[in-house]
Structures are given as structure tokens and as C-alpha cells.
Amino acid sequence: MQPDIASHRARRAQLLKALGEGVLILSTALEAIRNRDAHYPYRFDSHFYYLTAFPEPEAVLVLIAGRRPRQILFCREKHAEREIWDGFRHGPKAAKAAFGFDAAYPYSEIDKRRPKLLENQPRIAYAFGADPAWDT
């Protein structure tokens, strides 16, 4: 079942309006390892899904409020071999179109792009403690 992308995009727009000026960064839930190389079935973060409808791990939503609001997704790239083991991946190009984002980039590029996204922003909204790797 395909989610109603218009309603998710409207939710993001409403949050951008409430933010006023600045940037919101929201990552989805981490994958949980059951034992050695076996993972629990993936369960996305509810807040992330409410805003994006994007069901995959290793994804980050960046909302930039202000005069030129933007809705950006970072997600895993397409990878035919990993998809055999882990399941389907949209990849940035398909995710942008399918989920109504202004831009989408590979998750691997977030460290490279983050300084430019945060540059000259008066406010940064981020949930500390959700992902320890992001807190540093």
C-alpha cells in the first residue's frame, strides 16, 4: 500500500512553518542486531515515518525553514547485492520522486553536505540521544 505522500509533505510544510527560521534534523531508528549477523525485523522511528512515510533504515530528514524552505532526505543508495539480503532500497533518486522531497542524497554524503546545510542557520532542532553516533 502506497502512503498518501501529499499528506506527509503537508506535515513537513506545517513543521517548517512552525520552525520559522532554522534547520530540523531527524534521523530514523537504528537497526537492531539480534545476534552475531542476524537482525531483528526493521522498525522505523514513528516520528520520522509520520513526516516522511519512508520505511528504510539509515535515513535522515533535513528541513530547512525560512524564505526558501526545503525538504531533504538522505538515504541508502541502490545496491543490487545488498538488496538480495536486506530487501528493496529506493535510493535517493527514486525516494525524491516517490516521497515528495525537494532533494535526496546518499546517506554516505551527509557528513560532506552537513556544514553547508547548517551554515548561517539561527536555530538547529535536533533530538539528542536518539542516535549516539550523531550526538558527537
**Domains of the chain, with CATH numbers?**
5-126 (3.40.350.10)
Q: Residue 72 in contact with residue 61, Cβ under 8 Å?
A: yes
For the segment 84-129, what is each residue's pLDDT rounded down to a tens digit?
A: 988 899 999 999 999 999 999 999 999 999 999 999 999 999 988 7
Instruction: pLDDT band for 133, please (50, 70, 90 cuts).
Output: confident
DSSP state at residue 66: S
Distance of alpha carbon 60 from alpha carbon 121, whole angstroms: 18
Q: Average the pLDDT over 58-69 and give the result.
A: 95
Q: Among residues of the chain, what percentage have pLDDT more than 90?
A: 72
Backbone dihedral region of 45: left (phi > 0), alpha (psi from -120 to 50 degrees) or beta? Answer: beta
Q: Is it the case that residue 2 has pLDDT exceeding 70? A: no
pLDDT at residue 4, as a whole number: 86
pTM above 0.85, yes or no: yes
